[in-house]
Structure 1
Amino acid sequence: MRLRRALVASCLLSASFLVATANTPAAGAHAGHPHTHEHAGAHAHGAEDDAEHRAQDLVGVPLHEIEKSTADNAARIARQTGRQPGKAQSKVQADADPGVSGAWSAVLPTEVVPVFTAVLPNGKVLIWDSVGDNPTESYPDHSFTRVMVWNPADDSHRRVDLQGANLFCAGFAHLPNGNILIAGGNANAAMDGIVRTYVFNWQTETFTRGQDMAGARWYPSVAETANGEEVIIGGGPTTAEVYQANGAIRSLTGFTRYGARVYPFLVSRPDTQLALIGPTNPGYTINTAGTAAITGTADRDTINRQYGSFVTYDVGKTLVVGGGALTEGGVANVPTKTAVVVDTNAGLNPTVAATGSMSTGRRQHNATVLADGSVLVTGGYNSGAGLVDLAKAVYAAERWDPVTGQWTALAGADRARQYHSTAALLPDGRVLTGGGGICSDCQKVGYLEKNIEYYSPPYLFKKDGSGQLAARPVISAAPAAIGINLPFTMTSPQAANIRKVALISYADVTHSVDQGQRYIPLRFTVSGTTLNVTGPQTGGVAPPGQYMLVVTDNAGVPSVARNIGVNKGYMPVMSPMKNSTGRCLDLPASNLAPRTYVQTYNCNTSKAQAITRLLYDSSIRILGNCLDIPNQSFVNGTRIWMWGCNTSVAQDWEYRIDGTIRPIRNTALCLTAASSANSAQIKLATCSAPPAALQKWTW
């Protein structure tokens, strides 16, 4: 049935063609994967695999040639079989009641294949693919990119092609002001990466070139962090880099464990660190301050989830679903139907728990958080084929309920969405899906989807079988920006019926990887038409930036989202803590070992002084460990050391307006430097009145 046009939501795209281990060759080396059945563990990388990757992505071939060849093959196959490649032959029965299984729109053609999709704060969508219809005699030419801005409100678009570089296979994420940082891309027919970064201004719809990276990257991921920085990992070089708030880029020489030319799964942790949780094992907890440090290492599960997808659907909780090529249910060479929940709320190493399985295994699918906090999976195929298998395409969507952990089958799309497809949540609660193709295997089977479809989830419809749209709650007023863990008010005529208030990040999705997708439930109370809400707990939960603010009523119907900014924490994260003598709290030699005593030292920008204050558990953290009172000895003279974070009262601190920091168990004592000298011990001492300079601390 026909639906109202509106905005889209962010689904994830297949994790690039390579299957790689977390430990990869040095910068410039090419990583690949053997085309064999995938099992747990890593596979070696070599020049042959990388050459196949290059050939599969048709690097060096202009898109007009790809499109013509694919169209010719599609026409030939249609004549021979009577079927259009990639088009569903019949709709699932669930389409009859959109209140149960949602509904899909008509297929709309686009001028650019939706390989890379970013939803902007105004609800429009930035979409690009690769090089366009340049004259045959001029290729290989990688000095430009086909780009458009799509408006889901009326399905109009504007071409904003980039001149100067090909952003095919770049990483990208939102900056705090809503602009899009793009890192890396494709240099030439040899599939070399590029060092360039660009910033797309969502208000002027223009590109600006940023500072070059140290390493040329192709298939990196970009992750937003609590202090407003963007971490760039993978894509060839093993040394990660950080795009700083001032636009400068620094190398993270403390993290050199992932250089695969495969988009890594990166999530911001509540404790303000970064977690790398896939697609391969092991995963890492990374403190990105200074030159960075690995503070934890752990396996996720026994499956190498290449071409799987993931969604952070709650505070510190991420669903990782599908992917791989293994033996499951007695059938060889199939992707897994299983899913796990990775929890980064406690400890340096995440905990992992199994949850419900999809009805069928998928790879090259997209997982997208919905406006009510559930997760939608669309597209993919249920065989172990490398990039595309139209005979095994999965058209029906599925929804995962985070409360029950179970999946529900939904309506089926019209088109197969496999390699190089995307899906993204729109502010109006719909999901925009599109793309697929631009690979050698795709070309052979006539698969190129230069179009989009909208999916309207069941929550947009009445539950009476009428197929009519449901009445939606409305956000009538909200602030332009909010703070970390600070109260704010918003109003809604339906406030009494509101059951959820949440922030949802805007999509940055390609190859099944949404580089920043998260749903953040907020605590609230109701008074009349006013909702009294508390902002997200930490900058790790909600990195500073632009978000969709959404309320959901007691019938499960979400509002249209309202754009809202989240400011960096008023007590900056990963920043020094200085006493009144000018020295800073310091972790000697950035030592991660428990029982390392802290000291004061000249203030600098090293990771040894990158302190995170967590308001929700009263802890003070350096490189993932907590400031701790040994043996809970709350007495004058006790020296302070670092220890693994836990719920002990020995790690609970109180911050006074007089600048003192006191253990909650004994507030007569103050955190005190033994002297104003370098390397002075930090201990507990009886608080003086007024506080002495050695007892007063500022952030």
Structure 2
Amino acid sequence: MNANLAGEFKDTGSMLEPRYFHCAVTTELGVLVIAGSGGIELYNSLSQEWSARAVLPVARHTCGAVILRPGVVLVAGGSDAGNALRDAQLYDVAADCWRAASPLHTPRFGHTTTLLESGRVLVVGGNNLGPSGGQVQDSVELYDPLGDLWHRQGWLPVDAMNHTATLLPDANLLVVGGFSGRQNAALANAFIYDVASGQWAPVRPMPMPLMQHTATLLLDGRVLVAGGANEPFGPAQNHACIYDPAADSWELSEMCVPRKDHTATRLAAGQVLVVGASDISNPENARTAELYDPLSGQWVLTAQMPHGRFGHSASCLPTGEVLVAGGARPISHPAPVSGAEIYTLARVSHQGASTWAGVKPSR
């Protein structure tokens, strides 16, 4: 594969607290990093500084967070000291304050949380683990911000956690893969949730089962599913496949590096930046990043991070750069880290393909 790469990671100062398996949302004030520890923080891309914000009333990780409307963030579910949460909170960005929202019907972590075009929020699957045990969920809930109410929806056809949910251009939702407790296996299943009827329909399954993968909507309406594991506690995979909703078909591809618990971020020009990995057998993979070009279908390695990580967040900045924050080192007893870096894509070219030009740093 002929490639000419020019991308770089630059340190942007550490967060105030180490955290992993947290959430990150982009607000009008900057990138808000939530959970993964007790506090929340705001990154200002103009000053390149982190600042503490009002403490989340209930600490958690592996939760869901979405921007309900400008200046208001919903955080739902998650795990606190190994126990799944029903708790949901609303955060006012400008006022820097939290207030309780109605709780979920079912406590859960490892679920997906998706803002629909209607302004409502769909929560799918997860695990309701508590002191007396728990199980992987097939339950689905819809949050109505106008009434501050959660409504039960049609059951997912299979229980799933560590799956993905992607909002499609037609406003319906694609749910792919995950882990099923009933089957004690990773899933190849794919389903579409019809927002009008509130019901699920199976679509063509993936070529292989995956959990702990990523799913990214491409500019042309297809969905890139990348990495993950094909069994519980299994090794990271380099599988990638692209789902075409119009044809109900999958196209196989392969990343340069096996990954799970990584991030995949669509850049402004349409390429996808994939960062980090959980791969104890080869910890150096956690330092790597690669780019997928939907036009050529090629994967190319780009700059390496100074330190490997997984379970981090990756957020697009107004400059076109990507903020990579937190995560954990790929060691036998991972501990959260506070480091953060900015990725800048300057130029990537393929033989016979067009040049990608990213935004230069504003610093």
| Alignment TM-score > 0.5, same fold | yes
Displacement of 1:284 in angstroms is 1.0
Q: Contact 1:172 / 1:221 at 8 angstroms: preserved in 2?
A: no
* Alpha-carbon offset, residue 163 of structure 1: 5.0
**Which residue of 215, 225, 228 maps to 1:323?**
228
Is the 8 Å Cα contact of residues 233 and 258 (structure 1) preserved in structure 2?
no
**Alpha-carbon shift at residue 439 of structure 1 (Å):** 10
**Structure with a larger share of its residues in helix:** 1
For 2:210, the equivalent position in structure 1 comes to 305
* Structure 1 pair 172–448 and aligned structure 2 pair: CA distance change class (3 A): closer
User: 2:249 & 2:242 partners in 1: Cα distance?
Assistant: 8
Task: Determine if contact 1:112/1:128 at 8 Å carries over to the other structure.
Answer: no
4+ runs deviating over 4 angstroms: none
Q: Does structure 1 residue 366 correspond to structure 2 residue 258?
A: no
CA distance in 2 between counterparts of 1:249 and 1:176 reads 16
Amino acid at match of 2:24: A
Task: Flag structure 2 segments of 5+ consecutive residues without an equivalent.
Answer: 128-136, 179-186
Note closer, same or farther for the CA distance 1:315–1:245 as it changes in structure 2 (3 Å cut).
farther
Deviation readout 1:26-84 (Å, 9 max, x if unpaired): xxxxxxxxxxxxxxxxxxxxxxxxxxxxxxxxxxxxxxxxxxxxxxxxxxxxxxxxxxx
Q: State the Cα deviation string for residues 81-113 of structure 1 (Å, max 9, x = none).
A: xxxxxxxxxxxxx9xxxx832112136222123
Over alpha carbons, which structure has the higher Rg? 1
Distance in 2 between residues matched to 1:344 and 1:156, nearest whole Å: 41
- Give the Å deviation of 1:206: 2.3
> In 2, Cα distance between the equivalents of 1:217 and 1:413?
33
- Where do 1:616-695 residues align within 5 Å? none
Residue 342 of structure 2: aligned partner: 454
What TM-score, normalized by structure 1, do the two folds share?
0.44
Q: Which position in structure 1 is the counterpart of 2:183?
A: none
User: Could you list the per-position Cα deviations for residues 506-564 of structure 1 after superposition, in whole angstroms to 9, with x for gaps in the alignment?
Assistant: xxxxxxxxxxxxxxxxxxxxxxxxxxxxxxxxxxxxxxxxxxxxxxxx9744569xxxx
Map Cα deviations across residues 604-623 of structure 1 (whole Å, 9 max, x no partner): xxxxxxxxxxxxxxxxxxxx
The alpha carbon displacement at 1:222 in A equals 0.6
**Which residue is 1:408 aligned to?**
300
Amino acid at match of 1:184: G
The separation in 2 between residues aligned to 1:162 and 1:107, in whole angstroms, is 23
The counterpart of 1:379, out of the listed 253, 276, 300, is: 276
RMSD (Å) for aligned C-alpha atoms? 2.9
Residue 204 to residue 368, structure 1, CA distance change in 2 (3 Å)? same
Structure 1 residues without counterparts, runs of 5 or longer:
1-93, 132-144, 327-332, 464-553, 561-699
Selected match of 1:160 from 26, 31, 53: 53
Q: Displacement, 1:172? A: 1.6
For 1:608, the equivalent position in structure 2 comes to none
Q: Aligned pair count?
A: 334
One-letter identity of the residue aligned with 1:371: A
> Given that residues 429 and 558 in structure 1 are in contact (C-alpha distance below 8 angstroms), is that contact kept between their aligned partners in structure 2?
yes
Question: Which one of the candidate residues 108, 112, 128 is aligned to 2:13?
Answer: 108
Question: Would the alpha carbon gap of residues 146 and 441 (structure 1) be closer, same or farther in structure 2, given more than 3 Å must change?
Answer: farther
Per-residue displacement from partner, 1:237-279 (whole Å, max 9, x unpaired)?
A: 432000114143343342243544x332111223322111223
What TM-score do the two structures reach when normalised by structure 2?
0.82
Instruction: Please give the alpha-carbon distance, in whole angstroms, between the structure 1 residues aligned to 2:291 and 2:226.
Output: 12
Matched, 1:208 2:114: no
C-alpha separation between the residues in 1 aligned to 2:170 and 2:344? 35
Question: What is the alpha-carbon distance in structure 2 between the residues aligned to residue 218 and residue 119 of structure 1?
Answer: 18
Q: Which moved more, 1:399-408 or 1:118-127?
A: 118-127
Match of 2:30 among 115, 124, 133: 124
Matched, 1:354 2:252: yes
Cα pair 1:193 1:235 within 8 Å, conserved: no
Distance change >3 Å, CA 164–CA 100, structure 1 → 2: closer
**Structure 2 residue 230 is the aligned partner of structure 1 residue 294:** no
Percent identity of paired positions between Structure 1 and Structure 2? 20
Deviations 1:316-339 (A, max 9, x none): 21111112258xxxxxx7433231
2:40 to 128, 143, 147: 147
Relative to structure 1, is the Cα distance of residues 121 and 147 closer, same or farther in structure 2, using a 3 angstrom cutoff? closer
Q: Deviations over 1:570-628 (max 9, x none)?
A: xxxxxxxxxxxxxxxxxxxxxxxxxxxxxxxxxxxxxxxxxxxxxxxxxxxxxxxxxxx
- In structure 2, the residue matched to 1:271 is 170
Counterpart residue identity of residue 197, structure 1: A
Are the equivalent residues in 1 in contact too, given 2:283–2:331 (CA < 8 A)? Answer: no
State the AA in 1 paired with 2:53: V
Structure 2 contact 23–65 (Cα < 8 Å) conserved:
no
Q: Distance in 1 between matches of 2:65 and 2:87?
A: 12
Q: Is the 8 A contact 1:343 1:352 kept in 2?
A: yes
Letter of the structure 2 residue corresponding to residue 451 of structure 1: G
Structure 1: distance between partners of 2:35 and 2:331:
16
